[in-house]
Amino acid sequence: MGQKVTKYKVEDGVATITFNIPDKMNALTYQFCDETMGHLTTASRDPEVGAVVVTGEGRAFSAGGDVVAMAEKRPEVPGMVSDTMEEAIDGLRHSQEICWMLHSMPKITIAMVNGHAMGAGLGIAMSCDLRVASSKAKFGTAYANVGFGGDFGATWQLTQLVGEAKAKELMILGDIINAEEAQRINLVNKVVEPEALAETVKEMATRIAHGPLVSFRYMKENINLAVRSDFRTVLDREGMTHVRCSMTEDHREGVTAFVEKRPPVFKGR
């Protein structure tokens, strides 16, 4: 496979995955996707990890698919070149599991959007639970520019985050928007100056990593369920998860700390 194109580290309960192909604006390849999925699987299973941050090296979070490789019909682009259409579909579906893992894994995921997030790169960012962007970041679907219909969950995530009408506008017109506009339409949660981005995300992720992790897990699951279910289904689910959380050490600590008028010290269990 050659040199790694992603980096992985764990510090103070936070796993950070960094896309590391800055000369190609962190464009997606099969290797990129396979390495990222490996890191996500590791973080998901690691009891020492309480939060996961994904970001990009250089001036881009990820520019999406490698268009140059597409033009040259090179085989490293997910879904582009295979012996059969079925093989191409299977390859793309496998790579898109990055988005499902970010969306569904039992840890809180944060996209630290340092620069351009385009196409599939935007899909990856939107699949995270939270998005913090540099004021210099740019966002765009980019699919219409190269005759694609959308992948990496972009159509679903956009519709959930910004609504049907705005999602269609962003997909069909393909305009690039800045971080301020992205925050205005709820595409990102927070915008900070570039020099403050890393520290802001570190503080947020560390706070989450040292929080009541069982509670966070069920909050995430219940909100994901709410997107596709009726009120009664979510109420029933909340009944089960709320009682489960009442049995945790963190719940007991939280109640005790409240009574004793001190900050709680959670242990993630």
Q: What is the mean pLDDT of residues 114-119?
A: 97
Q: Mean pLDDT for the chain?
A: 94
Band the pLDDT of 66: cuts 50, 70, 90: confident
Boundaries of every domain in the chain: 6-209, 213-259
C-alpha 175 chain-centroid distance: 22
Split at pLDDT 50, 70, 90, the class of 41 is very high
CATH 3.30.450 for domain 213-259, yes or no, is no
pLDDT at 154: 95
Q: Which residues contact 93 (CB under 8 A, 6 or more apart)?
A: none
CA dist list (Å): 131 to 27, 52, 113, 127, 191: 19, 12, 7, 9, 9
The pLDDT value given to residue 210:
97
Q: What is the pTM of this model?
A: 0.94
Q: According to the CATH classification, is domain 6-209 in 3.90.226.10?
A: yes
Task: State yes or no: pLDDT of 35 exceeds 90.
Answer: yes
Residue 106 has pLDDT above 80, yes or no: yes
pLDDT the model gives residue 84:
83
Tens of pLDDT, residues 171-200: 999 999 999 999 999 999 999 999 999 999
